[in-house]
C-alpha cells in the first residue's frame, strides 16, 4: 500500500466532487469561488468559468445560474427576488465582485445602462432596419405632403412605425422635421386634468 502524498498547497486546495451530503453546499460554494480571479476589494473580480453572452454562469441547485447573482447571494445571504435584476456598477459582465453588484429593479438597471451609454439606439441598434439618413428622408417627405401609407410601402416598414417616426416618438436623435405629435403625446397627464363636477 502506497503512503498518502504529503499535504501541499496544490493538493490541499482540491475540491471533492462527491462530498458527504451535509457538506455538499460548502463544497459547491468552494467550487464557485475557485472560478473567480479575486483582486483588490475595489477591482473587478473576473469569472473564469463558463459564460453565456459575456456573463458568467454556474450550475447550482440543478440549473445554470448567473455567476454575478450567486456571488452577491453567497456574500450577503440574500436571495434575489424574481422581480429584481442583479446590476453591475462597473459595467463589466464577467465581474463577480460583490462590491460591484446590487439587486435592483429592471427600471433602475435600464436607467443605469442609458446614463452610461450602453444601450444602442438608432441605426446602431442591432434590430434597426433603417438608417438615420432614411429616417430624416421619411420625415422630410412627410413634411412635404407624402402619405404615411405610401412611405411605409416604399421603405418596407409598417405604417405604424412611419407614424412613430414622423411624430417624433422614436429615433429623435436622427433629426429631420417632426410634422406633429400623436394623440398619445398630446394628452395631458391625469394628475393635471380637472375632474368633472
Would you state the pLDDT for residue 164? Answer: 85
Instruction: Write the CB contacts of 11 (distance below 8 Å, at least 6 apart in sequence).
Output: 5
Q: How many domains does the chain have?
A: 2
Would you state the pLDDT for residue 160? Answer: 87
Instruction: Give phi and psi for 63, each to the nearest 5.
Output: -155, 160
Confidence band, pLDDT 50/70/90 cuts, at residue 194:
very low
71 and 133 in a common domain: no
Question: Which residue segment(s) compose the domain that 181 sits in?
Answer: 122-190
For 109-134, how does the pLDDT look when each residue is reduced to its tens digit (9 = 90+)? 888 876 776 655 555 555 567 888 88
What percent of the chain shows pLDDT beyond 90? 37
Stretch (H or E) spanning 163: helix 159-166
56 and 143 in a common domain: no
Highest mean pLDDT among 84-98, 112-126, 155-169, 172-186: 84-98
Q: Which residue has the cell 453567497?
A: 74
What is the SS3 assignment for 46? strand
Would you state the pLDDT for residue 175? Answer: 81
Residue 187 has pLDDT above 70, yes or no: no
CA 181 to chain centre: 31
Of 153, 149, 151, the C-alpha closest to 141 is 151
pTM higher than 0.95, yes or no? no
Of 82, 115, 148, the one marking the end of a domain is 115
Would you state the pLDDT for residue 95? Answer: 96
Residue 98 has pLDDT above 50, yes or no: yes
29 and 45 in a common domain: yes
Residue 48 has pLDDT above 90, yes or no: yes
Q: What is the 3-class SS of 98-120, one letter each residue? A: HHHEEEEEHHHHHHHHHHCCCCC
Would you state the pLDDT for residue 94? Answer: 95
Of 115, 131, 157, the one marking the end of a domain is 115
129 grid coordinates: 432596419
Please report, for the domain that includes residue 162, its CATH number: 1.10.10
CA 76 to chain centre: 22
Residue 22 has pLDDT above 50, yes or no: yes
- Side-chain-side CA neighbours of 86 within 13 Å: the count stands at 25
Residue 17 has pLDDT above 60, yes or no: yes
Looking at per-residue pLDDT, the higher value among 41 and 115 belongs to 41
Establish if 165 belongs to a structural domain. yes
Establish if 196 belongs to a structural domain. no
Length in residues, the chain = 197
Residue 8 has pLDDT above 60, yes or no: no
Establish if 77 belongs to a structural domain. yes
144 and 111 in a common domain: no
Amino acid at each position: 500500500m502506497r503512503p498518502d502524498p504529503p499535504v501541499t498547497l496544490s493538493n490541499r486546495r482540491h475540491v471533492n466532487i462527491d462530498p458527504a451530503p451535509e457538506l455538499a453546499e460548502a463544497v459547491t460554494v468552494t467550487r464557485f469561488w475557485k472560478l473567480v480571479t479575486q483582486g483588490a476589494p475595489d477591482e473587478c473580480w473576473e469569472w473564469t468559468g463558463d459564460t453565456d453572452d459575456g456573463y458568467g454562469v454556474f450550475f447550482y441547485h440543478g440549473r445554470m445560474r448567473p455567476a454575478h447573482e450567486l456571488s452577491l447571494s453567497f456574500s450577503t445571504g440574500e436571495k434575489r427576488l424574481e422581480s429584481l435584476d442583479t446590476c453591475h456598477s462597473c459595467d463589466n459582465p464577467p465581474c463577480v465582485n460583490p462590491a460591484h453588484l446590487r439587486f435592483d429593479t429592471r427600471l433602475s438597471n435600464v436607467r443605469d445602462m442609458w446614463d452610461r451609454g450602453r444601450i444602442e439606439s438608432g441605426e446602431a441598434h442591432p434590430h434597426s432596419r433603417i438608417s438615420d439618413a432614411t429616417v430624416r428622408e421619411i420625415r422630410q417627405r412627410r413634411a412635404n405632403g407624402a402619405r404615411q401609407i405610401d412611405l411605409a410601402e416604399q421603405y418596407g416598414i409598417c405604417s405604424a412605425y412611419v407614424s412613430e417616426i414622423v411624430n417624433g416618438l422614436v429615433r429623435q436623435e436622427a433629426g429631420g422635421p417632426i410634422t406633429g405629435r400623436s394623440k398619445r403625446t398630446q394628452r395631458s397627464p391625469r394628475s393635471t386634468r380637472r375632474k368633472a363636477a
